[in-house]
Structures are given as C-alpha cells and as structure tokens.
Amino acid sequence: MAISRAQLVKELEPGLNALFGLEYKRYDNESAEVYVTESSDRAFEEEVMLSGFANANVKAEGQGVSYDEAQETYTARYTMETIALAFAITEEAIEDNLYDRLASRYTKALARSMSNAKQVKAAVPLNNGLPSVATYKTGDTVSLFSTNHTTIQGSVSNTLTTQADLNETSLEQSLIDIAAMTDERGLKIAAKGVKMIVPSANQFQAERLMKSQGRTQTADNDINAINSMGMIPQGYRVNHFLNDSDSWYIITDVPNGMKHFERTPLTTSMEGDFDTGNVRYKARERYVFGASDFRGIFGVEGA
C-alpha cells in the first residue's frame, strides 16, 4: 500500500505553517551497555559451556593420582532474525507535495522505527528472563534469572532468593551473591559486578545509592560502603526499554555473558516501479540478542 495524496491532503495545499510528528529525538544505542557485539556470517551461532575439573584432592603417599573428566554441559544457540520495514509513495504524491521532500522526511522515520525495534529486541532477555515472567531461557533451559541454574556440582543463582526493590540492603546482597558464584564444578570464579542497568523509574534511587558519600535512607552517620569500595566501578546506565519499573540488573565481569551477534548491518535501498511510478524504500538488518553464560548478569525484578 503506497502513501498517496489522500494521506497528504494538507501538504498539497498552500498556507501550511509546519509539519510535525517526525522530529522526535530517539534514545542512544542503550543495548551497547548490556551486550558485547560480535559479527557473524552464519544462520545461527552456538556457544558451548565447558565444565572444567573439580577441586583437586589429596594424593596419599604411594597411591595413584585421581583422574577427573571435563565435559560439555549446555549449548547457547543464537538464531539470526531479519528485521525490515518499507514504505512506498505514489508518483503523484511526490509531484504535488508543496513543502518538503517526502522521501527525506519518511526515510528518517524509517530509520527511527528500525532503531526502536532493535532496542526493544535487546531488552527482551532482560524483560522476559525475570522470575515472574520466565519465558526467556538460557542454554540450560532455565529462565535467564534464576536461583536454580543446575550445574554438575549443584546450582548457581543469578538473582536474589527473595525479589526486592533497589536499596542499600538488596544491592549489597546482590554483590555478595555475585562474589559467591561458582563454575560448573563448584569452584569459585571471583566474579564482580561492574555496571548496573536500571529502568528510568529507578534512576534516581540508583543515583543516590551510587553517588552518596554516606548511607542512604538512614540517620546513621556511616559511609556508603558501595561507593567507598568502588564495588560497581562503571556506575549505572538507564535503559528506557525495560518493562518492569522496579527491576534492576548488574553486569558482571564474567566473560561470554550477554551477546549481540550482527549478521547483516543496517542497509537501505529504494527503487521505482515502472507500471505505477511508485517509489519504494526499504530498510533491513539481521541480528540477534541473547545470553551465553548466565553468570554474566545478575537480575532482580523488584518486590
């Protein structure tokens, strides 16, 4: 369906003062604060979790050394998606428009739609991986944020046992839980939180918790331990595409956590139709967002 003169009545008449509705600003690439981007040349990418070995045992004098076996535990698969949008304008609408180049105006709107779609898709693992939603699962078939990521040696948690709003107590507990993370064989992995991601409704609480010299929401004259110890060195970032207004997330320094694979970068094209004279414009790209090692992020949905 092409945009015709019927949709552009006012733009065909003299006396129009302004065209508005397409000049809104758009948010930056907020997904870059959550994901590590890698290029891909395949229909899908797979990343395999390896178990490593268990804790070493004491070898008794004169006895043989014990052997252990490493193995693959689960596979995270990233299947590329194609995201595209197009529009067409009739030849007559282009000819009769009095005020602006239609193509220039609507190609900007097309770019904005593609950008917005990418940020919405990037937020899906965070939005749908929360315990109450639990529709986005990692390679171990468990919700992204869970207290029971099953491993060979037991289980690992990347969320609070009891969901809580962002405050001093819950943030400190999350950092304690991150430091207690283990690998697939139960060995400590020395994980640390490096950056916090919050929805816009939580940014003021995050600012107070991260920047205050003293403890927040208390009359005690104590220092802010999170601030003074530099526990989250990269501070916090706001993501405007998170659905849960009291959710919050901590990106850890565990490698191969949140991944963004780019199969085909954004491309635009246009062509004219000989029969109708309509001009068509299209934008297209291929990518996928997901998670390999769930230890790369700690998420809480709030109370």
Q: What is the pLDDT of residues 249-297, one digit of tens each?
A: 999 999 999 999 999 999 999 898 888 888 888 999 999 999 999 999 9
Q: Which pLDDT tens digit goes with each residue over 170-211?
A: 999 999 999 999 999 999 999 999 999 999 999 999 999 999
Query: Where residue 4 falls among pLDDT bands split at 50, 70, 90?
Result: low
Strand residues in the chain grouped as ranges (E): 36-39, 44-50, 72-79, 81-89, 149-150, 155-156, 193-198, 236-238, 248-252, 258-272, 279-291, 297-300
**What residues are paired with 68 via a beta bridge?**
none
DSSP 3-state percent helix, strand, coil across the chain (nearest 5): 25, 30, 45
Q: Report the pLDDT value the prediction gives residue 21, as an integer from 0 to 100.
A: 56
Q: Which pLDDT tens digit goes with each residue over 142-157?
A: 999 999 999 998 999 9
Q: Quick check: 129 and 143 in contact, CB under 8 A? A: yes
Taking residues 138-145, what's their average pLDDT? 96
Q: Report the pLDDT value the prediction gives residue 15, as an integer from 0 to 100.
A: 46
Q: Report the pLDDT value the prediction gives residue 221, as an integer from 0 to 100.
A: 75
Query: Where residue 99 falls among pLDDT bands split at 50, 70, 90?
Result: very low
Structure tokens at 261: 């694979």
Taken in order 148, 151, 154, 160, the sign of the CA dihedral is negative
pLDDT at 219 over 70: yes
Strand order in the sheet with 297-300: 236-238, 193-198, 248-252, 297-300
Evaluate if pTM is beyond 0.85: yes
Q: Residue 14, SS3?
A: coil
pLDDT at 19 over 80: no
* CATH numbers and ranges of domains, the chain: 31-52+73-190+256-296 (3.30.2400)
Q: Which pLDDT tens digit goes with each residue over 42-91?
A: 999 999 999 999 999 999 999 999 999 999 999 999 999 999 999 888 88
Distance CA 21, CA 160 (A): 43
Q: State phi, psi for 117 to the nearest 5 degrees.
A: -60, -40
